[in-house]
Chains A and B, each alone.
Chain A
Amino acid sequence: MRRTNTNAYHESLTNALTQAQAHRSSRRTALRTSLVATGAAAITLTGSSVFGFRSAMAQTFAGPVDVLNYALTLEHLEATFYRMFNDEFSAMDIESAGFGSNVRGRLESIEAHEAEHVDVLVSVIGSLGGTPVTEAMYNFGVTDVDSYIATAQVLENLGVGAYTGAAQFLIESDDLLTAALTIHGVEARHASYLNVLNDDSPFPEAFETALSPEEVLAAAGPLIVSGMPDTGAGPGASTDGPGMGTYAALGALGLGAAALAARTRESRMRDQAVAIKA
């Protein structure tokens, strides 16, 4: 069923790609113009205190292919991550670490989703005449089930922030934007669930925090040990970025302990199917 959905999805995307391709250069100019124009409008329109955005990204992308390759960089990382550690840790390992019996299946679902995101992005980038970035070599620093689940949480929340921050760069293409949004929501679902597994609030804020490409690559860069793709989006492996490490990224994502004070949390033992007391 998933494969069918992906194919239909891909078809719906590629149908419009010829048109998108034809307008690439004009869109590129329009996108830049619009970003310049709206930088000043951000405060008057939405009020930074209301939505809390960084109204202007320090760096932008050369075009939709770069935006999609930026997304693909993260999806490769996530897909590889789950593939590696779902392979390494058995269902019994996960239950032995104290997680509910549903957790293994959920992690396999997430793995499948990330792989589908990779497939779709690769296809779309290719259809646009671009070159999809390839999978790199990663070092996630995972040593046991606990660090697997904790790192998964970081990656998913990072992904949500990345899509939240990058969607604006696809505003000139309805289809690509919609595609990105449909991935964005699923990353948010994953993040919510992994927060629960890690005894954090599934939804720590009323508004998602948008992350800039620099912030995202600074957080993800240290995990990439070779083959870091150049998405044109920024400084790559964190040499001159803000320098967040994997776990430090948690704080930047609003998942710090302070933000979660006084909250009664779900037990990780549950992934409960029943929320009403008998």
Chain B
Amino acid sequence: MLALHTLFMNAIAEERDANVSRRTLLGNGSKLAVGGAIAIAAAGSPALARLVAAQEFTDDIDILNYALTLEHLEYAFYRDGLEGFSADLFDDGVFDNLMDIRDHEGAHVDALVSTISDLGGTPVEEAEYDFGYQNAAGFLAVAAALENTGVSAYDGAGAAIENVDLLNAAGSIVAVEARHASYLNLINGEDPFPAAFETPLSRDEILAIAGPFIVQ
């Protein structure tokens, strides 16, 4: 897991200026267990967002690439995963909604790529992933984990965004991720809204959850 985590970090690190002190900060692994992505929505404290938000990112481009890393992962998950399943495996309507989610993640990727480019940055590229599911039920469980993690990621990073327009953009994405998360929780038999408040997570924690999905 540490190796994967390092790989993941390197993919982002290539695209940003070196920042020794911050990298040291990010070197500490998270204690969060893989697979705890759904459970974390009901636990934890927003206070931890404050601990890291201010020093965690070098600039807005860095934050956008962080978001793009997750959106790449989500989009690839649905794009490739849905090709392997036929619609009639699922209850009526579910497959259509999954295709909508796929398209949303694709739109998020496109928007982030063009925004990062417009800002003079270099968008991170899609990686190779292994999501580890064996069947449609496993696919839906991973989907829920990814979406809930996405909400926590945006909520944890939002305060670090300095540009109002980028904050608005992030706000319009995170709401849609939360809609996805709610729906996926529902069809997984989980509570669509397990707590009165979302749980913001630091970059460190998010990468500990998402990193193992990234193989290269």
Contacts and interface: CB of A to CB of B under 8 A. Distances in A.
B91 A185 contact: no
Q: Which of B108, B114, B161, B186 has the most CB of A within 10 A?
A: B186
A9 B45 contact: yes
Interface string A153-194: 000000010011001100100110111011111111111110
Given A189-B181, A207-B172, A264-B93, A46 B118 contact: yes
Interface in A28-56: 34-35, 38, 41-42, 44-47, 50-53, 55
A276 B90 contact: yes
B191 interface: yes
Contacts of B96: 263-264
Nearest to B103: A206
B175 A178 contact: no
A95 interface: no
A41 B162 CA distance: 13
B193 A190 contact: yes
A265 interface: yes
Interface string B148-176: 00010011101111111111110111111
Interface residues of A, number: 81
Nearest to A55: B165
Interface string A1-28: 1100110110111011000000000000
Contacts, number: 256
A127 to B, nearest CB: 15
B49 interface: yes
B158 A203 contact: no
A146 interface: no
Interface stretch (B11-19, B22-30, B194-202, B204-212): B194-202
B196 A267 contact: no
A133 interface: no
Contact of B155 (A164, A181, A205, A265): A181
A174 B50 CA distance: 7
Interface residues of B, number: 75
A181 B114 contact: no
Interface stretch (A65-73, A83-91, A112-120, A242-250): A112-120
Interface of A: 1-2, 5-6, 8-9, 11-13, 15-16, 34-35, 38, 41-42, 44-47, 50-53, 55, 106, 109-110, 112-113, 116-117, 120, 160, 163-164, 167-168, 171, 174-175, 177-179, 181-193, 195-196, 201-203, 205-210, 263-267, 270-277
20 contacts: A5-B197, A8-B45, A113-B193, A168-B167, A178-B158, A185-B155, A189-B185, A193-B183, A202-B179, A203-B183, A207-B107, A207-B169, A208-B173, A208-B176, A210-B171, A264-B93, A266-B91, A266-B93, A266-B97, A276-B89
Interface of B: 42, 45-47, 49-50, 53-54, 88-94, 96-97, 100-101, 103-104, 107-108, 110-111, 114-115, 118-119, 136-137, 140, 151, 154-156, 158-169, 171-183, 185-189, 191-193, 195-200
Given A5-B195, A163-B175, A275-B187, 12 more contacts: A38-B163, A38-B164, A47-B118, A164-B168, A179-B46, A190-B182, A191-B179, A196-B183, A201-B100, A206-B107, A207-B107, A277-B90
